[in-house]
Amino acid sequence: MKRKPQEDVEIPITPMLDMAFQLLTFFILTYHPSPTEGQFSMNLLPAQPVINMNAPAADSAASNSELPAGLKTLPTTLLAADDGMLAKVTLGENQIEGMEAFTKELTTILKDPTLPFDQTIIKVDSRLKYSELMKVINVFSELKVNKISFAEMGADEGTPP
């Protein structure tokens, strides 16, 4: 019994390379990256401040750097209205309505030399529009508060204390 000679199958690679380079060129020429959002410097806060209970009590002339992070952090809560716009802001324990009142109150707090705040943690309502959050961040940035952390409000946190 005679065997038939095997024929080699030739795969034309040139058209495949041409197609690959055409696709690569197409994607390179049509790619337009989105513009970057506002860039700002942020440092995350520690999860919990550590306080040495055996340390001697500090006098009132102690610098801000000796205070635990929790005492230097201004808690800020942002509540959204039904349409996603900023409805209320809570700075510490003070409830404020409106961006102008927020800016004025924050300026007053940060200019007070007896208050040690140099960082903030912002609790954000999940319904709040991103543009409204950026307005608040811009106010903090203009007042030289660069240490900003974020937390999303839970479903049970509909109103601040």
- The DSSP letter of residue 85 is S
Q: How confident is the model at residue 62 (pLDDT cuts 50, 70, 90)?
A: very low
d(C-alpha 79, C-alpha 88), whole Å: 5
| Model pTM above 0.85 | no
| DSSP one-letter code for 83 | T
Q: What is the pLDDT of residues 11-33, one digit of tens each?
A: 889 999 999 999 999 999 998 87
Residue 117 DSSP one-character state = -
CA-nearest of 151, 161, 100 to 128 is 151
d(CA 112, CA 22): 63
Beta-sheet strands, E only, within 42-131: 73-80, 86-91, 94-96, 119-124
Average pLDDT for residues 105-117, to the nearest whole number?
79
pLDDT for residue 38 = 61
Q: In whole angstroms, what is the distance from residue 74 CA to residue 96 CA?
A: 14
Domains along the sequence of the chain with CATH: 69-152 (3.30.420.270)
Q: 119-124 and 94-96: which strand pairing?
A: unpaired
Least confident of 20-24, 114-118, 156-160: 156-160
pLDDT of residue 60: 45
